[in-house]
Structure 1
C-alpha cells in the first residue's frame, strides 16, 4: 500500500479552490445575464407592490448595488463563514442546504448502491456469457438505458407503478397533509423507492458495460483456461477469480459517477416533486435566489470533487504506475 504525499494533497486542494472560484464566477455571470428579475420573482405576480416598495426590497437584498460589488461582498462573506439568507425560504442558506442535502443524500445513496450492485451483477453475467443470448439482451438493455432521458424514465415509472398499479405514491417525500411527527418510516420508504429506482438507472449501464468488458478479458486469460481444465465450475471460477479482479475497477468507476448522480438528481426530484437539493437548484435559479444557488453550487462541487478524488486514490492503489506523487 502506498501513501499520499503532501504534494499530492496540495495539488488537489489548489485545484479544488480554483474550480470553486471559477464555477462561482461563471454562475454569478450567468445569473446576471439571465432575464429573471429577482425582485419580480420575490414579490410574485402581485400588482399591489409599487415602485417604491420594489426599490426597498432591492435595497434590503443588496440588488441595487453594482454586480462586481455584490459579488465581492458575497465572496468575502463566504470566506468569513456567512453564507447569507435565502430569498425563497427566508432562512440562512446553510440551514436550507443542510435540510435539502439530507433528503437528497438519502435518495442518492440508495440509487448509488442499487446502480452499483445491479450493474456489477449484470456485467459479470454478460461477461461470462459473452456472445450468447443473455449477453446480447443485457447489452441491448444497457444501450437503451444510456440513450433514454432520466426524466422520461421517471414519468414512465409513475405511469406504470404509481398510476396504473398503485404500488407507490406519485410524488413528494412524505404523504400530503400529514404532520411531520405522524409520518412513519414506511411512508418515507414508499415515497423514496420510485425516485431511487429512477436515479439508479442512470449509473447501471456504465457499470455493467465496464464490468462486462473486464470480465470478458479475464475469461480469456490462461489461468481461467487452466481453472476450467482442472474441472472448476463456473460459479467457483467467478467467486475465486473474476469477482476479486473486477470489483476494485468497478468500485472506482462507481465513485466517478458522483457528477452524473448529482445531475440526475435534479431531473428526478423535479419529476417526483421530491424536496431535495436538486429541486432547490431549479427553484433558486428560476426565482433569482443567488445566495442559495451559489451555496448549492459550492456544496455540489465539493461533493462531486470528493467522489473524483476517491476514485483517483483507488486508481493509484490498484495501479501504482499511475501515482507519480506517491511514495513507498
Structure 2
C-alpha cells in the first residue's frame, strides 16, 4: 500500500511539473497563436482579431490562462484544440489509434531484434558479424530520425516504388473501404524507421551485458563442466541479461514518443506525433498540454509494467520477498 501511494504521489507530481513546464515553454515561444490562427497575410479587422483572441482566451494573462486550464482539466475538460477545432480528448483519441499500431510494431520489433542481435554479437565477439553490427548500430544511433525517414522515402518509396510516400491509407479512398493490407503497407516505412533507431541501443547494451557475464568466474566453471557456448547463453546468460534488457526496452518509451513526432511528420502519418508538430507550429496550447499529460501517463505506465516484469523474470525481487 505504501509503495502504491508513493507511486500515485510521484505520478501526480510528475503531471503537475510537466504541465507547468510545457505551459511556460509555450508562453515563451516565438509563435503567436493569433497570427498562426488567422495567417500572416490576413486582412481581417482589429475588432475581428480581438473577438478571436477573446474566444480562445488569448488576450488573458498567462497565469490566468493556466489556472483556468488547470481548473477545467481537473473536471475532465481538456479544452478545445485551436488547430483542429475539436475537443482535445477527441483529437488525442483519433490520432492515438494510428500511432499505437506504429509504436507497438516499432517497439516490439526493436526489442526482439535488438536482443537477439546483441546475443549474436556477444557470442561472436570480434568476428566480422560483431564488427559489422557495432558499426551499423553506432551509425544509426547517431542518425537523426528525420534523416533516416527521408533516406527510407528516397530509396524504397521514390526510387524503388515499393511503398507509398506517406499517409496511413491510399489517398482519395473512403476509410471504410481501406483494407488491412493497405494499412499495413503504409505502416511499413515509418515503423521500420522507428525500429532501426531503437535496435542500435538495445543491441549494443545486450552485447555488453552478455560479454560481462561470459567473462565471469561462474561461466568459467560452466565451461570446465563441458557446457557449450549456446548452453551457457541459454542457461545462464539470457536470465541474467533479461532484467537490464527490459529496463532499456521500457525506458525507450520516452524516446519513442520523441522520435514518432519527426517520423510521422516525414511520412505525413496522421498520428499523435504529427498532431504535436501541428500544435507547436500553431501555438495550440490546450492540445500540446493534453498530449504532454497523455504521453507522461503512457511512459509512466510503461515503467510500472517494467517493475512488474522484474518480479516475473526474477522472483527474488518481488514485493514482500525477503533478501535476507
TM-score when scaled to structure 1? 0.91
**Aligned-residue offset at 1:295:** 0.4
What's the offset of the Cα at 1:186?
A: 1.0
Residue 169 of structure 1 aligns with which residue?
A: 164
Contact 2:239 2:313 in 1 (8 A): no
Q: 1:327 corresponds to which residue?
A: 320
Q: 1:10: Cα distance to partner? A: 1.6
CA deviation digits over 1:191-229, x for unaligned, max 9? 111000000112111111111122212323455445545
Which residue of structure 2 lines up, in the alignment, with residue 43 of structure 1? 38
**For 1:271-282, what aligned pairs fall within 5 Å after superposition?**
271-282=266-277
- The structure-2 alpha-carbon separation of the partners of 1:45 and 1:183, relative to structure 1 and needing over 3 Å to count, comes to farther
Q: Which moved more, 1:25-34 or 1:111-120?
A: 25-34
Structure 1 position 153 matched with structure 2 position 159: no
Aligned pairs for 1:229-308 (under 5 A) are 229-308=224-303
* Aligned residues: CA RMSD: 2.1
Distance 2:228 2:197 in 1: 33
Q: Give unmatched runs, 5+ long, in structure 1.
A: 1-5
For 2:82, which of 83, 87, 95 is the aligned residue? 87
Show CA shifts across 1:25-68 (max 9, x none): 12112212222221221122453421111111111111122221
Deviation at 1:327, TM superposition (A): 2.9
Instruction: Name the counterpart of 1:191.
Output: 186
1:288 partner SS: coil
Alignment of 1:47-196 (within 5 A): 47-196=42-191
Three-state SS of the structure 2 residue aligned to 1:327 is coil
Superposed CA deviations along residues 160-183 of structure 1, whole A, max 9, x for unmatched, are: 111111111111111111111121
Gap regions ≥5 residues in structure 2:
none
For 1:37 and 1:148, how far apart are their aligned partners in 2?
32
Q: Which moved more, 1:248-257 or 1:279-288?
A: 248-257
- Note the C-alpha offset of 1:317: 6.5
Instruction: Using the TM superposition, give the Cα deviation of residue 253 of structure 1 relative to its aligned residue in structure 2, in angstroms.
Output: 1.7
Q: For the residues of structure 1 that align with 2:76 and 2:84, how far apart are their CA atoms?
A: 19
Q: How far apart, in 1, do the equivalents of 2:230 and 2:317 lie?
A: 33
Q: How does 1:307-322 map to 2 (within 5 A)?
A: 307-315=302-310
CA deviation digits over 1:45-101, x for unaligned, max 9?
A: 453421111111111111122221111111000000111111111111101001111
Q: Could you tell me how far apart the structure 2 residues matched to 1:131 and 1:107 are?
A: 35
Residues 82, 284 of structure 2: 8 Å contact kept: yes
Q: TM-score of the superposition, structure 2-length normalised? A: 0.92
Cα offset, 1:12, TM superposition: 1.8
**1:220 paired to 2:215:** yes
Q: Deviations over 1:238-287 (max 9, x none)?
A: 33333333233312321111111111101111111111111111111110
| Equivalent residues of 1:39, 1:58 under 8 A apart | yes
1:88 aligned counterpart, secondary structure: coil
Instruction: Tell me the number of residue pairs that the alignment of Structure 1 and Structure 2 aligns.
Output: 321
Verify the 8 A CA contact 1:211 1:246 in the aligned structure 2.
yes
| Aligned counterpart, 2:197 | 202
CA separation of 1:128/1:77 partners in 2, compared to 1, >3 Å: closer, same or farther?
same
Shift of 1:233: 4.2
SS at match of 1:282: helix
What is the CA distance between 1:235 and its match in structure 2?
3.8
CA distance in 2 between partners of 1:174 and 1:17 (Å): 38
- Contact (CA 8 Å) 2:193, 2:263: kept in 1 or not? yes
CA contact (8 A) 1:146 1:202 kept: yes
